[in-house]
Amino acid sequence: MVTELNEDNLQSYIADNETVVVQYSATWCGNCRIMKPKVKKLASELENVTFVIADAEKFPESRKLATVDNLPTFATFKNGAFVNQVQTNKFDVLKELVNEVV
């Protein structure tokens, strides 16, 4: 399952779930829209991982939890701690990032 944030509360998802993968995106970002269904497919395959989509422009506190210089940026968190991140529109690169924490 993928959760899209409606408020700037990513920190609570990271605290409440063992493994979290975040897609930082924006409404204007074409590559973000391209990656969204791929993220949903990956989320359906990994039930023990929490996937979250955070609008990097609307939610500055959530954005601070990773280094978001380009979109889409994907970040992984394990047991409340930041693990790694990539900026990509390639599914294989995203999958490699996720495999580091599952």
Does the annotation count 29 as an active-site position? Answer: yes
Catalytic-labelled residue, pool 14, 22, 29, 56: 29
Residue by residue, DSSP assigns 34-79 as HHHHHHHHHHHH-TTSEEEEEETTT-HHHHTTS--SSSSEEEEEET
d(CA 41, CA 9): 24
Can you name the residues that pair with 3 across neighbouring β-strands?
A: 52
Catalytic position from the list 32, 39, 53, 68: 32
Active-site amino acid positions: 29, 32
